[in-house]
Amino acid sequence: MGQTHSKRQQEIFAWVEGPSTGQSKIDNTSSEQSEPTRLLLFPHEYGLQGNRPSQSVCSLSSSFSSLASTSQPTTPVDLGRTDSGYATLSLEDPLVKDIDYVNHLYYAQPSASRTNSPPPPSSPPSLPSRALADIHTPSPYTFADVLEGHKPSRTEELYLIQRSLIELSPNLVQLTSLRTLVLTNNKLKTLPEALGKLQMLEELCISENQLDHLPASLQHLHQLKNLDVSGNQLSTVDLTVLPTSLTLLNLARNPLVTLGPNIVRLRELAYLDLSHTHLVALPAEITLLTLLRRIKLEHCPDLGHTEKYPLAHDPPSLLELCARQCVSALATAPPNPDRRLAQLPNSLLHYLTLAKPCSACHQPYFDSFVQRGRLLQKNPHMDIPLEYRLCNVHWTHDQDRHLYLFSQPCRTPIQLDRALTQLGDLITS
């Protein structure tokens, strides 16, 4: 039992940038140093002589004292520090000599008293090969480092903030009881697919990283409520990979240019932050989120700067017309799908899974759609532009839109999600 626990502690949780031999080095609280410190390797950067022999850290105080005595300026200098009480001391006082040495060595302007200071060495001493490798090679971050400061019974919450993490290991699935995971201010560019196996996760914060996409496994986090991916490199977000249980979604400070109509899947969403993005318009499906209480759109300079949508459009192809009929029939049919669909090649089945609902009638469409827009008044000082993607030309202007809404018979929207689920089962079977 003990050997199993020890083996787990040595498994890699993530990789960090730069040297790391454990939690102590990442937290900069190491009590012992097996490698020479930078102060001893590069003394000229700290105002020390480069040709001075290497000394232990414990003997540095004597080095400063000797340097202060040898670099004492020849002419007395008026400190004039009445606010600090130094002006009342004698120039022969050791404290005054130390302060005067530091002032002239680090802060004084060029003057005659600095002309006698020796120039820095022309080239710094070379680092040992091991120290040089530690600086440029990613180092492992083990479970022992992760659990240090976290009792095993408290692994429901894990905060790894500003740890220079560059990659997460799939071994994180071992933290099965994790409910809160905060990875803010790191250097992560991707997330492992194994993240979707943390079934108990309720809050995930990966803000201020370098992510340009989200893993598809996030859709399996059925307990996830809060997702914060602000401050990354997301130019688009595949909303189909997000779990439908989300109540808070933070996409602020991303180069986001579009938000797909699949946001209608997030029925539980109550808070949406889209501030500091490059969005031009919001999908009209956002009006169907009945629980949405707050949308942040501050500092979106491109919002509302859209041209008029053209009336001309390309008609759907014969393939798309047939695909629309198949998906509509599958969505309104009993749960057992038509076995004839199983005879289709996988390429056509994959094409059927690309169906998207019309913003008006909720019928499926694929490649061909008609764009229309309108303004939604949020307050007297701001109008939110909405974009409709229609399967057909339901209207051409806002007056036609009102006529369409009151002229169409009331019908139950098709269960497109159910149809897509059945298609996915056919592909995997």
Q: Is the pTM of this model over 0.85?
A: no
Q: Is the pLDDT of residue 77 over 80?
A: no
Q: Is the pLDDT of residue 425 over 50?
A: yes
Contact 243, 265 (CB under 8 A): no
Residue with tokens 């960090």: 16
Look up the CATH number of domain 136-296: 3.80.10.10
Q: Residue 88 CB: number of other CB atoms within 10 A?
A: 9
Amino acid at residue number 239: L
Q: Where in the chain is the domain with CATH 3.80.10.10?
A: 136-296
Amino acid at residue number 259: L
What is the length of the chain?
A: 429
Q: Residue 250 CB: number of other CB atoms within 10 A?
A: 20
pLDDT value at residue 414: 62
Cα distances (angstroms) measured from residue 208 to each of 182, 189, 193, 225, 247: 11, 11, 20, 20, 21
- What DSSP assignment string belongs to 111-124? -GGGTTSPPPPSSP
Contact 407, 355 (CB under 8 A): no
Amino acid at residue number 206: I
Q: What is the pLDDT of residues 295-346, one digit of tens each?
A: 999 999 888 766 677 777 788 999 999 999 988 888 776 666 556 777 788 8
Distance between CA atoms of residues 240 and 249, nearest Å: 14
Distance between CA atoms of residues 380 and 121, nearest Å: 66
Q: What is the pLDDT of residues 343-398, one digit of tens each?
A: 788 888 889 888 888 988 888 999 999 999 888 877 777 788 899 999 999 888 88
Q: Where are the alpha helices (DSSP H) in 11-116?
A: 23-26, 38-41, 60-70, 94-102
Give the DSSP H or E segment for 400: helix 398-407
Q: pLDDT category, 246, cuts 50, 70, 90? A: very high
- Please name which of 277, 168, 279 lies closest in space to residue 230, comparing C-alpha atoms: 277
Sign, Cα dihedral of 164, 169, 173, 175: negative
Q: What is the pLDDT of residues 276-296, one digit of tens each?
A: 999 999 999 999 899 999 999
Amino acid at residue number 221: L
| Chain mean position to CA 46 | 36
Distance between CA atoms of residues 221 and 155, nearest Å: 18
Contact 26, 165 (CB under 8 A): no
Q: Which residues, at least 6 apart from 81, have a Cβ–Cβ distance to it below 8 Å?
A: 87
Where does residue 400 rank: exposed (0-12), middle (13-18), buried (19+ CB within 10 A)? middle
Q: What is the pLDDT of residues 6-53, one digit of tens each?
A: 555 556 666 676 654 444 333 433 334 444 455 555 555 555 544 444
Contact 113, 75 (CB under 8 A): yes
Distance between CA atoms of residues 348 and 341, nearest Å: 10
